[in-house]
Amino acid sequence: MSNKNSPNISPQHAEYLRKVKRRKRTILVTQITLLALFFALWEIAARIGVVDPFISSQPSRIIDTISNLYSDGNLFNHIAITCVETILGFVLGTLIGILVAIILWCSEFLEKVMEPYLVVLNSLPKIALGPIFIVWIGAGSLAIVVIAMTISVVVTILEVLNGFLGVDNDKIKLVKTFGANRIQILTKVVLPASLPIMVNALKVSVGLSWVGVVVGEFLVSKAGLGYLIVYGGQVFQLDLVMASVIILSVAAFLMYKMVALIEKLVVKRN
Amino acid sequence: MNYVVEVCNLGMKYHSLNGEIDALKNINFSVSEGEFISIVGPSGCGKSTLLSLIAGLIVPTSGEVFVEGKPVTETSEKVGYMLQKDHLFEWRTIYQNVILGPEIRRTLTADTKEYALKLLDTYGLLEFKDKYPSQLSGGMRQRAALIRTLVARPEILLLDEAFSALDYQTRLAVTEDIYSIIKKENKTAILVTHDISEGISMADRVIVLTKRPATIKKIHEISLSCEKRTPMCSREAAEFREYFNKIWKELDVYV
């Protein structure tokens, strides 16, 4: 195999590699510039009075707000609460979803029976169930996690079950010729073959879980970034709203990247 | 006589909402030890069904199959099955792939592991044992698939269009390769194929099936005048064409 660092690559190939690298760097620089430009324009527009900072806020005030939250000692508390709720939401949603998918795979009868219910649950906006969970469970983190989980669990069931049913029948036939029973078919073929799909379901769940958690925090209004947003809106502190949204974007981005990294590690072989 | 496989009055019907499909009817033949049988027939005539019945994967509507004198009721380690594609599992190494059979049958002993390694060694795959299937060529993958079948120590090998997923040149080479391994391991084999030449080139006898419901149209004893009975040499033999033409006519293909 020719190594990138080996000295005996042809000048043409070195040129090609340089080109690819340069293009990658240009894209990154443009991306950063675009972001910086956006914030700079925002700040300038607010300073010269093109937009009213009371309604639109402005980057310098957002930074002040964040540093105030930090010196109050509340910043990381809110971030941590929201992140933990989200992680619990999508991990539980994915695990329970996979478990249900396994049960439905095991019994075709059950799968057929449950089909219309799953379709209804899938099309129902799960947020509508939020108030019910809060009444049942109480206004707190638990209810928020349950809301987040509910959103991701139905999609996971459908996605993963589809993956299970899509496993090559000949692969199953192969293990059957070795006398495999239903459980062995599941553990030796269906589960490992569906691993990429399960990880992908996890990726989808992350996004959905964020929605569930933020809406849950809107409803429960005790702590977390969602709470800061809804509170800021109510007291007309747009600085707080914008600051929370920005922190939320960064946290969501980082979490997505982390799951993508897990996917890369897990799916590498497949 | 000492028959390894006996197929008696075998019949198979499939049921669907659109009605009943007669796949096989009145199939009778027997296979002696070490014999290589090819089954050719029009596509969709139930050739694969026949193999599934011999393997005990499905239950016949009528008739019976005997393997070494015992009626087939479920899959057994006496019968090894090779499918069209190699179906090596991408998430397992070659070694983990070839021990799949004993692992599922829970007969994975030190002895079996040693046998698996010995087979890998004999057929030139030992250095690839910790590689993943995607790192192997098509021919090597097919060989690994055969070793996976052999590790379970079957008496009979069922080859279900086992080479048709390969491109033509690889296919000729793999046919040669697999044939020599089967002969060396002295296994009885039943090959199902739609490729007449492939069927003749490997077989001691060729069974020709009719269209659905499949019955046996003719059984040809293949005797070729060539020094070495390998698939490649067989294709050179003078009688090869005659057999080919006869079987081609019997298959009655219309476009």
What angle do the packed helices A59-72 and A11-47 form, to 10 degrees? 90
Task: Kindly state the tokens that stand for A25.
Answer: 């760097």
A268 touches B: beta carbon within 8 Å: no
Q: Which residues of B touch A180 (CB under 8 A)?
A: 104
H, E, C per residue of chain A: CCCCCCCCCCHHHHHHHHHHHHHHHHHHHHHHHHHHHHHHHHHHHHHCCCCCHHHHCCHHHHHHHHHHHHHHCCHHHHHHHHHHHHHHHHHHHHHHHHHHHHHHHHCHHHHHHHHHHHHHHHHCCHHHHHHHHHHHHCCCHHHHHHHHHHHHHHHHHHHHHHHHHCCCHHHHHHHHHCCCCHHHHHHHHHHHHHHHHHHHHHHHHHHHHHHHHHHHHHHHCCCCHHHHHHHHHHCCCHHHHHHHHHHHHHHHHHHHHHHHHHHHHHHCCC
Distance (Å, whole) CA A161 – CA A165: 6
Distance (Å, whole) CA A41 – CA A48: 11
Query: Does residue A146 form part of some domain?
Result: yes
Task: Tell me which DSSP letter residue B223 carries.
Answer: -
Q: Looking at residue A201, which CATH number applies to its domain?
A: 1.10.3720.10
Q: What is the pLDDT of residue A6?
A: 57
A76 and A128 both lie in a single domain: yes
Q: What is the pLDDT of residue B117?
A: 93
Cis status of the peptide bond prior to B213, with omega within 30 of 0: yes
Query: Does residue A220 form part of some domain?
Result: yes
Query: Does residue A57 form part of some domain?
Result: no
Distance (Å, whole) CA B33 – CA B111: 25
**% of chain B beyond a pLDDT of 70:** 98
B165 touches A: beta carbon within 8 Å: no
A154 and A232 both lie in a single domain: yes
Most B CBs within 10 Å: which of A178, A189, A197, as the mutation test of the B interface?
A: A178
Query: Does residue A29 form part of some domain?
Result: yes
Q: What is the pLDDT of residue A2?
A: 44
Q: How far A269 CA lies from chain B's nearest CA (Å)?
A: 6
Q: What is the pLDDT of residue B216?
A: 87
A205 and A98 both lie in a single domain: yes
A259 and A133 both lie in a single domain: yes
For residue B198, pLDDT over 50 is answered with yes
A27 and A111 both lie in a single domain: no
Distance (Å, whole) CA A226 – CA B128: 54
Q: Strand pairing of B79-82 and B156-160?
A: parallel
Q: What is the pLDDT of residue B114?
A: 92
Domain boundary among A51, A74, A90: A51
Which residue of A lies nearest to B104 if distances are taken between CA atoms? A180
Q: What number of helices (H) and strands (E) belong to chain B?
A: 9, 10
Distance (Å, whole) CA B118 – CA B116: 5
B84 touches A: beta carbon within 8 Å: yes
Q: What is the pLDDT of residue B255?
A: 59
Q: Helix or strand or coil: residue B44?
A: coil
Query: Does residue A59 form part of some domain?
Result: no
Cα four-point dihedral sign A254, A260, A263, A264: negative
Q: Which residues contact A64 (CB under 8 A, 6 or more apart)?
A: A239
B19: left (phi over 0), alpha (psi -120 to 50) or beta: left
A182 and A231 both lie in a single domain: yes
Q: Which residues contact B208 (CB under 8 A, 6 or more apart)?
A: B40, B41, B216, B217, B218, B219, B220, B247, B250, B251
For residue B81, pLDDT over 70 is answered with yes
CA contacts within 13 A on the Cβ side of A93:
35
Question: Helix H segments across chain B?
Answer: 47-55, 94-98, 100-105, 110-122, 138-151, 168-184, 196-202, 231-236, 239-251
Q: Which of A173, A180, A269 sits opposite B91 (nearest CB)?
A: A269
Q: Which of A141-155, B153-167, B182-196 has the lowest mean pLDDT?
A: B153-167
Task: Kindly state the tokens that stand for A167.
Answer: 């496993």
Q: What is the pLDDT of residue A1?
A: 43
Provide φ and ψ at B186, rounded to 5°: 55, 55
A45 and A70 both lie in a single domain: no
Distances (CA, A) of B187 to B150, B153, B182: 9, 10, 6
CA contacts within 13 A on the Cβ side of B59:
2
> Does A269 sit within 8 Å of B75, measured CB to CB?
no
Which residue of A lies nearest to B77 if distances are taken between CA atoms? A178
Nearest to B38 by CA among B51, B25, B27: B51
Tally C-beta pairs within 8 A across A and B.
Answer: 51
Q: How far B16 CA lies from chain A's nearest CA (Å)?
A: 17
Query: Does residue A131 form part of some domain?
Result: yes
Q: What is the pLDDT of residue A25?
A: 95
For residue B131, pLDDT over 70 is answered with yes
Q: Strand pairing of B79-82 and B70-71?
A: unpaired
Q: Helix or strand or coil: residue B60?
A: coil
Tally of structural domains, chain A: 2
Q: What is the pLDDT of residue B77?
A: 85
Nearest to A83 by CA among A247, A237, A240: A247
Q: How far A89 CA lies from chain B's nearest CA (Å)?
A: 29
Q: Do residues B159 and B82 lie in contact, with contact meaning Cβ atoms separated by under 8 Å?
A: yes
Q: What is the pLDDT of residues A2-58, one digit of tens each?
A: 444 556 788 888 999 999 999 999 999 999 999 999 999 999 999 998 888 888 888
Query: Does residue A58 form part of some domain?
Result: no
Query: Does residue A201 form part of some domain?
Result: yes
Q: What is the pLDDT of residue B1?
A: 56
Which residue of B lies nearest to A179 if distances are taken between CA atoms? B75
Which residue of B lies nearest to A195 if distances are taken between CA atoms? B91
Q: Which residues contact A29 (CB under 8 A, 6 or more apart)?
A: none
> Does A177 sit within 8 Å of B57, measured CB to CB?
yes
A23-34 burial, b at 16+ Cβ within 10 Å, e below that, comes to: eeeeeeeeeeee
> Does A195 sit within 8 Å of B87, measured CB to CB?
no
A189 and A74 both lie in a single domain: yes
Average pLDDT over residues B177-182: 86
ipTM above 0.95, yes or no: no
A161 and A129 both lie in a single domain: yes
Question: Residues 96..115 of B with a Cβ closer than 8 Å to A: which?
Answer: 100-101, 103-105
Q: What is the pLDDT of residue B137?
A: 87
What angle do the packed helices A75-106 and A141-165 form, to 10 degrees? 40
Distance (Å, whole) CA A43 – CA A63: 12
Task: Kindly state the tokens that stand for A32.
Answer: 């950063």
**% of chain A beyond a pLDDT of 90:** 67
Nearest to A100 by CA among A154, A149, A146, A143: A154
Average pLDDT over residues B44-54: 87
A121 and A143 both lie in a single domain: yes
Q: Which residues of A touch B87 (CB under 8 A)?
A: 168, 170-171, 174
Q: Which domain holds residue A33?
A: 2-51
Q: What is the pLDDT of residue A145?
A: 93
Q: How far A166 CA lies from chain B's nearest CA (Å)?
A: 15
A231 and A197 both lie in a single domain: yes
For residue B254, pLDDT over 70 is answered with no
Mean pLDDT by 10 residues, chain A (270 residues): 60 91 95 95 91 88 91 88 93 94 93 93 90 90 92 93 92 92 93 90 90 91 89 90 92 91 77
Mean pLDDT of chain B: 87
Distance (Å, whole) CA B124 – CA B177: 12
Q: What is the pLDDT of residues B229-252, one digit of tens each?
A: 888 888 888 888 888 888 888 887
A9 and A133 both lie in a single domain: no
Q: What is the pLDDT of residue A7?
A: 65
Q: What is the pLDDT of residue A270?
A: 53
Q: Which residues contact A124 (CB under 8 A, 6 or more apart)?
A: none
pLDDT: which is higher, B165 or A231? A231
Query: In the beta sheet, which residues pair with residue B81?
Result: B158
**% of chain B beyond a pLDDT of 90:** 27
Q: Which amino acid is at A31?
A: Q
A172 touches B: beta carbon within 8 Å: no
